[in-house]
Structure 1
């Protein structure tokens, strides 16, 4: 038998869910090998799960975080594909630094916005189709 509390998503749970994608993005940029590659796969699962969260604000913040991460991932593909070998071997640190400077502050700003927002408990209906 289920209790009534089993159908409630607390404000704390929603707040955490809204920040998960940003945490993964920050970790994957700070430790790019192998986390960037692993997070690329895991982020698809996280996006699918949290974008369709019962609290629409969680989906909003997840989508904003995904824009940041997938912009970086999409930018790296042509840069690393068409850049000469010397660029990657000699200037990898500059590329890494640019990624950190571009992504981490934006993700931190999103986390701060999530923390400042007023979150409420969400009642979910398990019988709803």
Structure 2
């Protein structure tokens, strides 16, 4: 038996923006960064199979950006930290993450806002009776 589900344009817009918003907040507030690295996996996975391919696209781009810069800091963070030393190195690594994630995230938020979102009706197969 099939079950109809309605997805509003606003909920799709929010789903397309959530990863960018949370990544920017976590990049702006350093203690949240480690928590977001773990929590982002669940957010990314929950939006990755959205029925609207535009939502998936924005989620994928935001994920590539965030995980790419976080992974790069695993490799290049220690030399940067060693170059500056003490807390200056930590600030430099955090600043690089923020300089990549925040401006490009803002750009994507503007793109999501400008996009013409339409309500969707989807059919879901009911697996239990």
TM bucket, shorter chain: 0.7 to 0.9
Q: Is the contact made by 1:7 and 1:125 (CA closer than 8 Å) also made in structure 2?
A: yes
Q: Between Structure 1 and Structure 2, which shows a larger proportion of strand residues?
A: 2
Please tell me whether the aligned partners of residues 47 and 56 of structure 2 are also in contact (alpha carbons under 8 angstroms): yes
Q: What pairs with 1:41-56 in structure 2 (closer than 5 Å)?
A: 41-56=38-53
Give the alignment partner of residue 15 of structure 1, picking from 13, 23, 30.
13
Tell me: CA distance 1:128–1:120, structure 2 relative to 1, closer, same or farther (3 Å): farther
Is the 8 Å Cα contact of residues 13 and 112 (structure 2) preserved in structure 1? yes
Q: Out of 34, 39, 44, which is 1:37 matched to?
A: 34
Once superposed, what is the RMSD of the aligned Cα atoms?
2.1
Q: Deviations over 1:25-63 (max 9, x none)?
A: 101100111x11111111111111101101111101000
Alpha-carbon distance, 1:88 to partner: 4.8
User: Greater CA deviation, 102-111 or 84-93?
Assistant: 84-93
Report what 2:117 is aligned to: 119
Unaligned 5+ residue runs, structure 2? none
Q: Establish whether residue 73 from structure 1 lines up as the match of residue 70 from structure 2.
A: yes
Q: Deviations over 1:56-103 (max 9, x none)?
A: 111010001001100111011112345538535333223322222222
Aligned length: 124
- The residue matched to 1:54 in structure 2 has which SS? coil
Which of 89-98 and 112-121 deviates more? Answer: 89-98
Offset of residue 127 of structure 1: 1.9
Task: Give me the TM-score of the superposition, normalised by structure 1.
Answer: 0.85
